[in-house]
Chain A
């Protein structure tokens, strides 16, 4: 098996006295999509935020996180991102007061050529709406902007947190298509609740429960086992939309 792009070992996160994660260990394959699953509040977003160094200052993080041979813990977020760790947060977090073009310009990095061609090929809408304030975009358009911002630069690994949350079914399909194309060139660690999207994209799955890894393995296999998905995720794979 190829060396994982990311390895998380015994990751524990405590915030305001609460143990959100307790000894979480998993790896992310160097290609394709690894999906992080679990019911609400089990620590999926906390895991992604710990990886990218965004645990609140009052929080406590222990364990080991490595991208390749490089240790990520204790490094500032901006350095991790410049080192090739792309992060698309939950709820998009576009800058509502800035235009679409300004949101993209903010992601440009000195000394590199931003891949506007690639981003506009994936999201032609962003090119057309360059002068529009990001706050006035629809949820789907904001999600495209959030992903497009990250794709302007080369990434070694993408962390994508619930990209289809709150989107209309048609837009969910569009976002899934884009992520599928993106995952052809860069590995993705995806947090996703929509099992139809998981079925379409994910090769590997890690399921969290009560702040710990409850299951890890082949994502498609997981979805075939109705009883398992029911017990781990609270939804049977038969209920997955196609």
Chain B
């Protein structure tokens, strides 16, 4: 029991100081019928060697992205993370500290959060950003509920290009809060379709760019129309790298911008932990969910940072809080911020261009395959293609050949009527040889 420092002599001494005969006496308040007399029916303690063996055995049953040609995206992207990032986030002072409740001894975390908020605001083109939420999908739900607080209206309209999981999460959480959520039919290129469902009780419309089918949309006109109807525009981005190249949500008139930040610094992790980016116009700041870090001074007038505007939060406001969130995604926000600091605006732009260029190569190769139709009209690093027959069956068959060929739309949304549509992403980690291998395998499978 290598993690437990006390020995039997310590325990006896401590019990004598406490004045208890044995440790059972300390559990005297537990009703007798609920006391377990011995360990539950699970294995006993194990050394590092055994634990490592079991976990390595499980890991070996998985096919990691780096094991061969890989084209999965659909809200989680494989990017190269500089070695520096993982080294720094494992420093004890970042890894093993808590939420910075005592700012005098948490300036490391707090300054990082202030820099993170500034980076996120710049990326999204918004004025303020919070210190992160759990992930992009929950950030989307929080944005919809925030729009209700801002507008005092009750409905939200989600585009058919919004990631289906985001739509489901938003529906689950926001309807619980009493909102009415409408989702437009799945469509490759119809973000403006949200306007068809807008009415005088619409708090917000939610669009995504690049959307789940990879389509890039200038949403400026949607913003204007939403505003004319008294609704907010929420812009969702699931691929944060795209923000390095494309017009930012703020530039296009978004009121709230949310994004999945996993692409920078965090990695795939089978879906979590990730980091939700949340930014908005400054005038809405007091309606924001989640932790906020702000600048202030100490008793000697030196600059410092603290968690602020906590009167919005659950530990102060309790049932009147803007959100129930306590924990955020601090360490992932740190990873994101370090990667962003290494890249800078120049590096992120270059990274985005490399991604986009690689996707053009991929799309060109796919378009040349007989029987394959590239559906995405304007893309960043992901395209939807139509294949003959079931996309899911095709993916399964190619997985058997060691190629992870992407995500079938039916996996995300079986009701979309797009069983023959496959989503494929390319990033800076995709090689020309990967694309060649994919194309060769597809041409064998598709006739």
User: Bound pair: A and B?
Assistant: no
Chain A residues with CB under 8 Å of chain B are none
